[in-house]
Protein backbone atom coordinates (compact mmCIF):
# COMPACT_ATOMS: atom_id res chain seq x y z
CA UNK A 1 0.00 0.00 0.00
CA UNK A 2 1.11 3.53 -0.72
CA UNK A 3 1.66 6.17 1.93
CA UNK A 4 -1.61 7.94 1.08
CA UNK A 5 -3.66 4.94 0.01
CA UNK A 6 -7.32 5.75 -0.55
CA UNK A 7 -7.02 9.51 -0.13
CA UNK A 8 -8.35 11.95 -2.72
CA UNK A 9 -6.05 14.59 -4.16
CA UNK A 10 -6.70 17.56 -6.42
CA UNK A 11 -3.67 18.84 -8.35
CA UNK A 12 -3.97 22.09 -10.30
CA UNK A 13 -1.89 22.85 -13.36
CA UNK A 14 -1.62 19.09 -13.81
CA UNK A 15 -1.53 19.09 -17.60
CA UNK A 16 2.27 19.16 -17.86
CA UNK A 17 5.54 19.76 -16.05
CA UNK A 18 5.56 19.78 -12.27
CA UNK A 19 1.80 19.35 -12.01
CA UNK A 20 1.82 16.22 -14.13
CA UNK A 21 4.73 14.80 -12.12
CA UNK A 22 2.93 15.51 -8.84
CA UNK A 23 -0.28 13.89 -10.07
CA UNK A 24 1.60 10.78 -11.15
CA UNK A 25 3.55 10.56 -7.88
CA UNK A 26 0.45 10.89 -5.72
CA UNK A 27 -1.27 8.30 -7.89
CA UNK A 28 1.68 5.96 -7.36
CA UNK A 29 1.40 6.55 -3.60
CA UNK A 30 -2.18 5.27 -3.69
CA UNK A 31 -4.27 8.43 -3.94
CA UNK A 32 -7.19 8.96 -6.26
CA UNK A 33 -6.12 12.04 -8.20
CA UNK A 34 -8.12 14.73 -9.96
CA UNK A 35 -5.89 16.37 -12.57
CA UNK A 36 -7.07 19.95 -13.08
CA UNK A 37 -5.87 22.18 -15.89
CA UNK A 38 -7.20 25.06 -17.96
CA UNK A 39 -6.20 23.00 -21.02
CA UNK A 40 -8.63 20.11 -21.41
CA UNK A 41 -6.20 18.13 -23.58
CA UNK A 42 -3.47 18.35 -20.95
CA UNK A 43 -5.83 17.40 -18.15
CA UNK A 44 -7.11 14.38 -20.10
CA UNK A 45 -3.61 13.24 -21.04
CA UNK A 46 -2.44 13.33 -17.42
CA UNK A 47 -5.59 11.63 -16.16
CA UNK A 48 -4.98 8.90 -18.73
CA UNK A 49 -1.60 8.18 -17.14
CA UNK A 50 -3.12 7.56 -13.73
CA UNK A 51 -4.36 4.28 -12.30
CA UNK A 52 -7.36 5.93 -10.69
CA UNK A 53 -7.79 9.51 -11.76
CA UNK A 54 -10.07 12.00 -13.44
CA UNK A 55 -9.62 15.13 -15.55
CA UNK A 56 -11.09 18.46 -14.44
CA UNK A 57 -11.03 21.61 -16.54
CA UNK A 58 -11.07 25.06 -14.94
CA UNK A 59 -9.32 28.41 -14.95
CA UNK A 60 -8.11 28.83 -11.38
CA UNK A 61 -8.36 32.61 -11.74
CA UNK A 62 -12.16 32.23 -11.95
CA UNK A 63 -13.61 31.51 -8.51
CA UNK A 64 -16.89 30.18 -9.91
CA UNK A 65 -15.06 27.67 -12.09
CA UNK A 66 -12.92 26.63 -9.13
CA UNK A 67 -15.93 26.11 -6.87
CA UNK A 68 -17.60 23.97 -9.53
CA UNK A 69 -14.43 21.95 -10.12
CA UNK A 70 -14.02 21.18 -6.41
CA UNK A 71 -17.69 20.22 -6.13
CA UNK A 72 -17.26 17.84 -9.05
CA UNK A 73 -14.30 16.14 -7.39
CA UNK A 74 -16.11 15.77 -4.07
CA UNK A 75 -19.27 14.47 -5.76
CA UNK A 76 -17.20 11.93 -7.70
CA UNK A 77 -15.01 10.65 -4.89
CA UNK A 78 -17.00 11.61 -1.81
CA UNK A 79 -14.18 13.51 -0.14
CA UNK A 80 -11.11 15.71 -0.60
CA UNK A 81 -7.97 15.14 1.45
CA UNK A 82 -5.13 16.76 -0.49
CA UNK A 83 -4.87 19.94 -2.53
CA UNK A 84 -1.76 20.89 -4.49
CA UNK A 85 -1.95 24.45 -5.80
CA UNK A 86 0.46 24.29 -8.71
CA UNK A 87 -1.30 26.14 -11.56
CA UNK A 88 0.63 29.10 -12.89
CA UNK A 89 1.81 31.12 -15.88
CA UNK A 90 5.21 32.57 -16.75
CA UNK A 91 3.76 35.75 -18.21
CA UNK A 92 3.13 37.04 -21.72
CA UNK A 93 5.12 39.20 -24.10
CA UNK A 94 6.42 41.32 -21.23
CA UNK A 95 8.13 38.25 -19.75
CA UNK A 96 9.48 37.12 -23.14
CA UNK A 97 10.95 40.58 -23.74
CA UNK A 98 12.53 40.65 -20.29
CA UNK A 99 14.13 37.23 -20.86
CA UNK A 100 15.48 38.50 -24.20
CA UNK A 101 16.99 41.57 -22.53
CA UNK A 102 18.47 39.35 -19.82
CA UNK A 103 20.09 37.22 -22.54
CA UNK A 104 21.50 40.37 -24.15
CA UNK A 105 22.96 41.55 -20.85
CA UNK A 106 24.64 38.19 -20.24
CA UNK A 107 26.07 38.12 -23.77
CA UNK A 108 27.38 41.67 -23.36
CA UNK A 109 28.85 40.80 -19.95
CA UNK A 110 30.83 38.03 -21.60
CA UNK A 111 32.40 40.60 -23.89
CA UNK A 112 32.99 43.27 -21.27
CA UNK A 113 30.32 45.52 -19.79
CA UNK A 114 26.57 44.94 -20.23
CA UNK A 115 24.71 47.96 -21.56
CA UNK A 116 21.19 46.58 -22.14
CA UNK A 117 18.83 47.56 -19.34
CA UNK A 118 16.26 45.06 -18.10
CA UNK A 119 13.46 47.60 -17.64
CA UNK A 120 11.32 44.69 -16.46
CA UNK A 121 9.15 46.59 -14.00
CA UNK A 122 8.30 49.57 -16.22
CA UNK A 123 7.26 47.27 -19.07
CA UNK A 124 4.62 45.38 -17.07
CA UNK A 125 1.14 46.56 -18.04
CA UNK A 126 -1.78 46.71 -15.63
CA UNK A 127 -3.31 43.76 -17.48
CA UNK A 128 -0.15 41.64 -17.22
CA UNK A 129 0.24 42.48 -13.52
CA UNK A 130 -3.33 41.55 -12.65
CA UNK A 131 -3.34 38.39 -14.75
CA UNK A 132 -0.13 37.17 -13.06
CA UNK A 133 -1.53 37.75 -9.56
CA UNK A 134 -4.97 36.46 -10.50
CA UNK A 135 -3.62 33.10 -11.67
CA UNK A 136 -0.92 32.48 -9.07
CA UNK A 137 -2.12 34.20 -5.92
CA UNK A 138 -5.82 34.46 -6.70
CA UNK A 139 -5.93 30.88 -7.95
CA UNK A 140 -4.20 29.61 -4.83
CA UNK A 141 -6.73 31.47 -2.67
CA UNK A 142 -9.79 30.34 -4.64
CA UNK A 143 -8.73 26.69 -4.67
CA UNK A 144 -7.76 26.74 -0.99
CA UNK A 145 -11.04 28.34 0.06
CA UNK A 146 -13.09 25.89 -1.99
CA UNK A 147 -11.14 22.87 -0.75
CA UNK A 148 -11.32 23.85 2.92
CA UNK A 149 -15.11 23.71 2.77
CA UNK A 150 -14.77 19.95 2.31
CA UNK A 151 -11.59 19.07 4.18
CA UNK A 152 -11.39 17.47 7.59
CA UNK A 153 -8.68 16.58 10.10
CA UNK A 154 -5.65 15.02 8.48
CA UNK A 155 -6.07 16.92 5.22
CA UNK A 156 -3.11 18.67 3.63
CA UNK A 157 -2.59 21.62 1.28
CA UNK A 158 0.66 22.21 -0.58
CA UNK A 159 1.15 25.47 -2.45
CA UNK A 160 3.79 25.80 -5.15
CA UNK A 161 5.87 28.97 -5.04
CA UNK A 162 9.35 29.55 -6.52
CA UNK A 163 12.81 30.71 -5.58
CA UNK A 164 11.69 33.96 -7.22
CA UNK A 165 9.35 34.33 -4.26
CA UNK A 166 12.28 33.82 -1.89
CA UNK A 167 14.88 36.06 -3.53
CA UNK A 168 13.09 38.11 -6.19
CA UNK A 169 13.90 37.59 -9.89
CA UNK A 170 14.71 40.94 -11.47
CA UNK A 171 13.44 40.02 -14.93
CA UNK A 172 9.97 38.92 -13.72
CA UNK A 173 8.97 41.10 -10.75
CA UNK A 174 5.23 40.40 -11.10
CA UNK A 175 5.89 36.64 -10.99
CA UNK A 176 8.17 37.16 -7.97
CA UNK A 177 5.51 39.19 -6.18
CA UNK A 178 2.84 36.56 -6.82
CA UNK A 179 5.04 33.75 -5.55
CA UNK A 180 6.09 35.69 -2.45
CA UNK A 181 2.41 36.31 -1.76
CA UNK A 182 1.77 32.57 -1.90
CA UNK A 183 4.38 31.99 0.78
CA UNK A 184 2.83 34.55 3.11
CA UNK A 185 -0.62 33.15 2.40
CA UNK A 186 0.67 29.66 3.24
CA UNK A 187 1.84 30.72 6.69
CA UNK A 188 -1.38 32.57 7.48
CA UNK A 189 -3.67 29.73 6.41
CA UNK A 190 -1.50 27.18 8.25
CA UNK A 191 -2.15 29.07 11.48
CA UNK A 192 -5.83 29.48 10.63
CA UNK A 193 -6.61 25.81 10.03
CA UNK A 194 -4.18 24.09 12.39
CA UNK A 195 -6.92 23.75 15.08
CA UNK A 196 -8.92 21.75 12.53
CA UNK A 197 -6.03 19.31 12.09
CA UNK A 198 -5.23 20.53 8.58
CA UNK A 199 -1.65 21.20 7.50
CA UNK A 200 -0.56 23.79 4.91
CA UNK A 201 2.91 24.03 3.43
CA UNK A 202 4.70 25.46 0.44
CA UNK A 203 7.25 24.13 -2.05
CA UNK A 204 9.47 26.73 -3.75
CA UNK A 205 11.28 25.00 -6.61
CA UNK A 206 14.45 26.27 -8.20
CA UNK A 207 15.05 26.04 -11.94
CA UNK A 208 13.30 22.94 -13.24
CA UNK A 209 13.19 21.36 -16.70
CA UNK A 210 9.59 22.09 -17.71
CA UNK A 211 7.84 23.44 -20.82
CA UNK A 212 7.77 26.88 -19.18
CA UNK A 213 11.56 27.00 -19.55
CA UNK A 214 11.65 26.13 -23.24
CA UNK A 215 11.88 29.79 -24.26
CA UNK A 216 15.00 30.34 -22.15
CA UNK A 217 17.98 31.35 -24.29
CA UNK A 218 21.05 29.07 -24.03
CA UNK A 219 23.14 31.88 -22.53
CA UNK A 220 20.58 32.36 -19.75
CA UNK A 221 20.42 28.65 -19.02
CA UNK A 222 24.22 28.41 -18.86
CA UNK A 223 24.42 31.37 -16.49
CA UNK A 224 21.74 29.98 -14.19
CA UNK A 225 23.24 26.49 -14.21
CA UNK A 226 26.56 27.96 -13.15
CA UNK A 227 24.89 29.44 -10.07
CA UNK A 228 23.38 26.10 -8.99
CA UNK A 229 25.60 24.18 -6.56
CA UNK A 230 24.57 20.83 -8.08
CA UNK A 231 25.30 22.28 -11.55
CA UNK A 232 22.06 21.20 -13.19
CA UNK A 233 18.39 22.05 -13.51
CA UNK A 234 16.02 19.92 -11.46
CA UNK A 235 13.49 17.44 -12.76
CA UNK A 236 9.73 17.64 -12.15
CA UNK A 237 9.83 14.27 -10.39
CA UNK A 238 12.18 15.73 -7.78
CA UNK A 239 9.62 18.40 -6.91
CA UNK A 240 6.91 15.75 -6.84
CA UNK A 241 9.00 13.91 -4.26
CA UNK A 242 9.01 16.96 -2.00
CA UNK A 243 5.24 17.24 -2.31
CA UNK A 244 4.83 13.54 -1.55
CA UNK A 245 6.84 14.01 1.65
CA UNK A 246 4.69 16.93 2.79
CA UNK A 247 1.37 15.17 2.18
CA UNK A 248 2.50 11.78 3.48
CA UNK A 249 2.96 10.30 6.95
CA UNK A 250 6.57 11.50 7.26
CA UNK A 251 5.44 15.13 7.09
CA UNK A 252 2.79 15.10 9.80
CA UNK A 253 4.68 17.53 12.07
CA UNK A 254 5.38 20.03 9.29
CA UNK A 255 3.08 23.00 8.72
CA UNK A 256 3.48 26.63 7.70
CA UNK A 257 6.84 25.88 6.11
CA UNK A 258 8.43 26.57 2.72
CA UNK A 259 10.58 23.73 1.39
CA UNK A 260 12.84 24.79 -1.48
CA UNK A 261 14.33 22.04 -3.67
CA UNK A 262 16.65 24.22 -5.74
CA UNK A 263 19.94 22.35 -6.10
CA UNK A 264 21.74 24.86 -3.90
CA UNK A 265 20.88 27.95 -5.96
CA UNK A 266 19.50 29.44 -2.74
CA UNK A 267 20.77 28.38 0.68
CA UNK A 268 19.71 29.47 4.15
Q: Which residue, 41, 55, 38, is CA-closest to 134?
A: 38
The alpha carbon of residue 199 and the mean position of all alpha carbons in its chain are separated, in whole angstroms, by 17
d(CA 193, CA 29): 25
User: Containing H/E element for 157?
Assistant: strand 156-160
The answer to whether residue 142 is catalytic is: no
> What count of other Cβ atoms lies within 10 Å of the Cβ of residue 218?
8
Contact 90, 172 (CB under 8 A): yes
Q: Which of 77, 142, 175, 207 is catalytic?
A: 175
Q: What does the alpha-carbon distance between residue 128 and residue 108 come to, in Å, rounded to a whole number?
A: 28
Element containing residue 181 per DSSP (H, E): helix 173-193
**For residue 208, what are the contacts with CB-CB under 8 A and spacing of at least 6?**
17, 18, 233, 234, 235, 236, 238, 239
Task: Name the nearest CA neighbour of 180 among 194, 192, 169.
Answer: 169
CA gap 257, 158 in Å, rounded = 10
Task: Report the alpha-carbon distance of residue 234 to residue 214 in Å, rounded.
Answer: 14
Q: Which residues are designated catalytic?
A: 175
Amino acid sequence: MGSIEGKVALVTGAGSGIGEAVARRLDAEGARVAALDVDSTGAELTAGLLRQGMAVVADVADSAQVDEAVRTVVETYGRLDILVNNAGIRGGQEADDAFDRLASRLTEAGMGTPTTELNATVNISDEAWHRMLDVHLGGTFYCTRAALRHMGAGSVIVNVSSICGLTGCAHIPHYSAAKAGIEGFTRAVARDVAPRGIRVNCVAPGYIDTPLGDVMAPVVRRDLTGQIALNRFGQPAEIAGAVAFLVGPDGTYVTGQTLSPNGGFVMS
